[in-house]
Amino acid sequence: MTITIYGIKSCSTMKKAFAKLDELGVDYIFHDYKKQGIDKQSIQRWVNALGIDKVLNKRGTTWRKLDDEQKARADSNESQAIEMLAANTSMIKRPIVEGEYNDQNVLLCSFDEEAFISTFS
């Protein structure tokens, strides 16, 4: 029963996710994108399961700083988008929670308190 939570430690959404997992008594490993990076295979797995629109954070400042050509490439080519996400981990929605819990596969993207409660209660 290993759960990994992926994100950036200083993110306010991550802090909510950590607090909820702690409150629910869930043991987890934290993977910090800023310190550890992330491999393209993991991003591809998340995109395959959730879709690029769920994984790519278009509301953040990193996305907004891209020029129109970069945004168009990401929008038109999933492989290009995955390359961008690997290089700019701040563009990955946070948190990504992945692993196995009570013999169930878990993959959650972004913090949704009700989803955390239903998954881990």
Domain boundaries, the chain: 3-120
Residues annotated catalytic, as ranges: 11
Write down how long the chain is.
Answer: 121
Q: What's the pLDDT score for residue 1?
A: 59
Q: What's the pLDDT score for residue 93?
A: 96
Structure tokens at 118: 């239903």
Nearest Cα to Cα of residue 119 among 4, 2, 107, 54: 107
Query: Measured between alpha carbons, how far is 66 from 46 in angstroms, rounded to an integer?
Result: 22
Contact 32, 7 (CB under 8 A): yes
Protein fold of 3-120: Glutaredoxin (3.40.30)
Q: State the 10-residue block means of pLDDT for the chain, 121 residues long.
A: 91 96 97 94 97 95 93 94 95 97 96 97 90
